[in-house]
Amino acid sequence: MKLSKSLTLLLGAAAMFAMYGCGSDNRESNIDQQSASYQASAACIGCHDNTIYRSPVTGAIIAEEWKASAHNTRNGASCPDCHTTNGHPSGGALANIPGDVVCLNCHTATSMRTYNAHFVGGATYDATKAAYVTPYDANSCRVCHNPHDTTTLLAVNQQWAASGHGDVTKEPWMHYPWRSSSRDACQRCHTAGGFRYYMTGTQGQLVAGTSAIFGKYTTGREALGCKGCHTDYSWKRITPQAAFVTPYTPSLGASNSFPAGTVIGDTQLCIPCHAGLTGGTSVETTTADLKNTNFSAFNSHYMAAAGTMYVKAGFTGFTSASAVLGTSTYGKSLTSTDDGGAVSSTHRKLGTSAIIGDHGITAADGLDAGGPCVTCHMKGGHSLAINGDAFNRVCVKCHDAEGTTTLTASNFKTAFIDPQAEVFENALNLALNILQTKYGVGYNSAAYPYFYDLTLDSTGKTALKDWTRSGTVANPKKLLGACFNINLLKREPAAYVHARTYTRRLVYDTIDFLDDGVMNWSVSATAIAKNSTLYGKGAKAYTTSATVGDVAPGTTESMLYLNGFNRTNGAWSTPERP
């Protein structure tokens, strides 16, 4: 059968780069008009090779796409192989491709090298990986692949397959068999189908299938594939049903809704799974009141980047909202400008019209649409990484130097990102040290409920239940709030980038409460007492200014993170809170 030569071309993102010839250097550079596939399609091409017959997705002439594809150049599939003519052109109609079954005529478990990357399991369930395709994915081949030229999105699909969203072995997709009735609420973020249901308002329960599809079963585990965010291989995104509301009751008067619609564009697809979670045994349905610390157990969950960037997550009620702090009130210093507070953010403006004029950015830079998540994480492609491309297209517009070091795509991470990550982690570890030495509370990020009573169990396996610490803590709700912040930030490892100012203040306030139970701006002294090598505080932060990068004698980078300072003259802030 002439189709046997194309046994490597159609299904799934990871398959594309592993399959022989699919977009590789040995792909035919010229259209092969002598192939058997071409000859079998000649009559169709005679009528359809014109501008009338264009792909509704790519806009390209369908016949031209097919000519350039391996379906033709490698003597793969002709037009009649995939389309039932029903008498056409003499009569009847040319039917569209009849679902995925026609693809499996050639792309079988035997012939397709990456078959198991798409369909997990066999006669029995295989719990070692998640799937790209499940029994719920009718016509899913064309969600990721252009059938007329499967190489159209080769680079994009390769990037996606290597990303956290596409790696079928990653924890978000593998931790539970998400497609089970007991995990209904989890499905919206842990399966592509569940996310699509949630975002489009479609009702339906996703459960692990018991019948085979293409000879394979589903484990109930599914990576976040193309169909989660896109309608098809055109990159047209699905239309969200509404604006997303935070799972928290935010502190200090902040609104509970995130921006939506044209304001942040495609970023609204990122927010639902990156806002965080909280609650007790039913973490998916319990709403925490961070204003009153109305939760007895909690789970801030993972990667709450939107929750921190938009200043919605984090316990901030260590003192009253109206308490005076320098020239501003405490409340405004922990509330975004979007909600009438004082916490501004250039990162939050990215991908919106508000970015124009900030740091000299103009419309010509192309950074005013799509919202912040998409602007930063998609400029470098579907890897979602802040890579060299992302730096050159976005970061360098504002971050062209760090002190006297000129930043480039090659040194940006080591000279700028990594040092910030280090001091952020140092601050969190300082909070954990105080929590353990002063309160006898340990932390285990690998197990819920994370915080353990070390006075009962030195191995850190006894869940903490008494937040009063046997009556020695006057404000147990604030202790709980401090622990919430630690868990939130330990599980959002890039919070120092997503919300630099807000994150520094959350860490500072957490330590300020933990060290003596009073908000008295004592963090610098506490840090020095705990580790004078890591935390040094000279007469000034910088000898002249932060823009020059001349750190004052006796001052350390970790102290610069904890203590506020004047970037123009290098003096320490009073009060010291950043």
Would you say 550 and 470 are in contact if contact means Cβ atoms under 8 Å apart? no
Is pLDDT at 74 greater than 90 in this prediction? Answer: no
pLDDT at 243: 73
The residue type found at 34 is Q
Q: Please report which confidence band the pLDDT of residue 235 belongs to, taking 50, 70 and 90 as the band edges.
A: low
Q: By three-state DSSP, how is residue 245 classified?
A: strand
Residue identified by tokens 């610098």 is 524
pLDDT at 205: 56
pLDDT at 43: 86
Q: What is the pLDDT of residues 513-551, one digit of tens each?
A: 999 999 999 999 999 999 999 999 999 999 988 877 789
Is pLDDT at 464 greater than 60 in this prediction? Answer: yes
Q: What is the pLDDT of residues 25-35, one digit of tens each?
A: 333 334 556 67
416-425: average pLDDT = 96
Pairing between β-strand 288-289 and β-strand 248-249 as defined by DSSP bridges? parallel
Residue 70 CB burial class (10 angstroms; 0-12, 13-18, ≥19): buried
CA dihedral 142, 147, 150, 152 (to 10 degrees): -80
Indicate the pTM of the whole model.
0.85
Q: Please report which confidence band the pLDDT of residue 18 belongs to, taking 50, 70 and 90 as the band edges.
A: very low
Q: Please report which confidence band the pLDDT of residue 432 belongs to, taking 50, 70 and 90 as the band edges.
A: very high
Which residues pair with residue 288 across a beta bridge? 248
> Considering the chain, what is the average pLDDT of its residues?
82
CB-based contacts of 257, cutoff 8 Å, min separation 6: 243, 244, 245, 246
Residue identified by tokens 């123009």 is 568
Cα-based angle 519, 508, 297 (whole degrees, multiple of 5): 85
Residue 459 CB burial class (10 angstroms; 0-12, 13-18, ≥19): exposed
The lowest-confidence range among 117-126, 216-225, 430-439 is: 117-126
Percent of the chain with pLDDT over 70: 82
Instruction: Using alpha carbons, list the distances in angstroms from residue 187 to 120, 173, 230, 284.
Output: 18, 10, 17, 11
Would you say 248 and 288 are in contact if contact means Cβ atoms under 8 Å apart? yes
Between CA 191 and CA 80 the distance in angstroms is 35
The whole-angstrom distance between residue 476's C-alpha and the CA centroid of its chain comes to 33
The lowest-confidence range among 235-239, 251-255, 439-443 is: 235-239
Encoded tokens for 309: 């960037």
User: Of the spans 101-115, 193-207, 378-392, 502-516, which averages the highest pLDDT?
Assistant: 502-516
Residue with more model confidence, 560 or 228: 560
Between CA 193 and CA 9 the distance in angstroms is 24
pLDDT at 304: 93
- Element holding 184 (H helix, E strand): none
Q: Please report which confidence band the pLDDT of residue 439 belongs to, taking 50, 70 and 90 as the band edges.
A: very high
Q: Please report which confidence band the pLDDT of residue 286 belongs to, taking 50, 70 and 90 as the band edges.
A: low
What is the sign, positive or negative, of the torsion defined by CA atoms of 402, 406, 409, 411? negative
Look at residues 193, 182, 188 and name the one whose alpha carbon lies nearest to residue 218: 193
Residue with more model confidence, 116 or 135: 116
The residue type found at 452 is Y
